[in-house]
Structure formats: C-alpha cells, structure tokens
C-alpha cells in the first residue's frame, strides 16, 4: 500500500474509481492507471469495506497494476484482452 491515511468515505472513493475505470482510454494513461491502482489498494485496506469487496479490490488492483506496467513499457496503446 502506498498511502497510510485512508479516505473517510470508501463509497465516494469507490464511485470515483469506477468512473476512472470506465474512461474509454484509461488503459493508455499512466496517470489514470496509477490513480485506479492506488484507489483500489486503499479500498482493499479500508475497515468499513466488507471482506468480500476488499478481496475484489485487491484482485482488481493487481490486474490494473499489470496494465500500468504494460502502458509504461509499451510503444503504444494496445489491449490486454
């Protein structure tokens, strides 16, 4: 986890994260990808979030982290699917 202070309202953070994840070109923007990963990591550690949602957020953070690595090392945009 990169941050030590958790946001007070995890559901506002979840809404913002879902919005970022739905951006059509989010896979091509490392800034978006980093924010998505950070938000998912925060959510996976937030005590107000259910254990099930924390697990989902951890898995998603891992997937989006791979996208970030791919975006930073590739020559251009491409799908991971």
Residue 1 C-alpha from the chain's centroid: 12
Name the DSSP class of 24.
T
pLDDT at 8: 79
pLDDT at 65: 96
Confidence band, pLDDT 50/70/90 cuts, at residue 74: confident
Please say if the pLDDT value at position 53 is more than 90.
yes
| Domain range annotation of the chain | 10-73
Confidence band, pLDDT 50/70/90 cuts, at residue 4: low
CB atoms within 10 A of CB 64: 25
pTM: 0.82
């Amino acid at each position: 986890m990169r941050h030590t202070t958790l946001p007070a309202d995890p559901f506002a953070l979840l809404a913002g994260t879902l919005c970022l994840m739905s951006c059509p070109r989010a896979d091509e923007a490392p800034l978006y990808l980093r924010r998505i990963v950070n938000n998912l990591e925060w959510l996976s550690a937030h005590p107000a979030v259910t254990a099930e949602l924390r697990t989902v957020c951890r898995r998603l953070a891992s997937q989006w982290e791979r996208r970030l690595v791919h975006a930073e090392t590739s020559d251009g945009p491409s799908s991971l699917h």
